[in-house]
Amino acid sequence: ALLSGTDPAAIPRRAVGLTALPLSFSQRQLWFLDQ
């Protein structure tokens, strides 16, 4: 959220089927680092 400059509250949270969402390379890196 900080990198994209968007409000985190405006981003829909999808816990179910999260792995099915297409992620960019940087998003996958951030997800991996966050685990």
Res 30: pLDDT? 83
1-35 pLDDT, tens digit per residue, is 555 566 666 666 655 555 666 778 888 888 788 87
- Distance, first Cα to last Cα, the chain: 16
Question: Which pair of tokens denotes residue 16?
Answer: 């179910």
